[in-house]
Amino acid sequence: MLTVWGRANSSNVQKVMWTVGELDVPHVRIDAGGTYGGLDSPEFLARNPNAKIPVIEDDGFVLWESNAIVRYLGAKYGAGSFWPVDPQARAETDQWVEWTANVLYPDFITVFWELHRVAETERNMHLVESALVRLNKSFQLAEQMLTGRRFVAGDALTFGDISFGGNLYRYFNMAIERPSLPGIEAYYASLQERPAYKVHVMVPF
């Protein structure tokens, strides 16, 4: 049985849980982090000395870091369409994971954190504005890269969609200015129809 530690409104936990839902993996999720605490307990630190979520244990195998967990679950439970067997197809999918983590996400989390985790009187709006310019440029680039594709790597949902698509619920529900993104909006609409996305990603933040 797969066990996942992490709170439901953590974006990194949501990546793992969306994957679990798509692959229909039997599991138990234990609330941890945020208001639930527990990350400094000896039991948790024995699993992840970084004191961060998510963490999984799968038949005795312990793993942390959300993207590593998604890759592991994909390789074990989703070989085929979700985890492409062909090395080139898998690399193209993985390219989206790396691009999202290294290009899009740093600006995304800056905007999100300042607007939704920092008190209004303490927000650095100059930081938000500069990060938002870069973030919207990244989404415009993603709009071009998605042209002609149903999902990030073609016609089937893959682990690359988990990394990129998991950010869209928050992006489209923040009170920010966004460029015209008809392709991404259509892609996001299709994700919202997926039961696992509704349950694990579309939650209050």
State residue 187's pLDDT score: 98
Kindly state the average pLDDT of the residues 7-24. Answer: 98
| Structure confidence by residue, pLDDT tens digits, 61-87 | 999 999 999 999 999 999 999 999 999
Total Cβ atoms within 10 A of residue 62: 13
C-alpha separations of 108 from 69, 158, 187 in Å: 21, 22, 18
The pairing of strands 2-5 and 27-30 is: parallel
State residue 14's pLDDT score: 98
In this structure, are residues 63 and 124 in contact, taking their beta carbons and an 8 Å threshold? no
State residue 35's pLDDT score: 96
What CA–CA distance (Å, rounded) separates 77 from 20? Answer: 9
126 Cβ contact partners less than 8 Å away, ≥ 6 residues apart? none
State residue 58's pLDDT score: 98
Q: Give the domains, in start order, of the chain with CATH numbers.
A: 2-77 (3.40.30.10), 84-197 (1.20.1050.10)
pLDDT-based confidence at 104, cuts 50/70/90? very high
State residue 134's pLDDT score: 98
State residue 195's pLDDT score: 98
| Structure confidence by residue, pLDDT tens digits, 147-198 | 999 999 999 999 999 999 999 999 999 999 999 999 999 999 999 999 999 9
State residue 65's pLDDT score: 98
pLDDT-based confidence at 102, cuts 50/70/90? very high
In this structure, are residues 132 and 106 in contact, taking their beta carbons and an 8 Å threshold? no
| Structure confidence by residue, pLDDT tens digits, 22-59 | 999 999 999 999 999 999 999 999 999 999 999 999 99
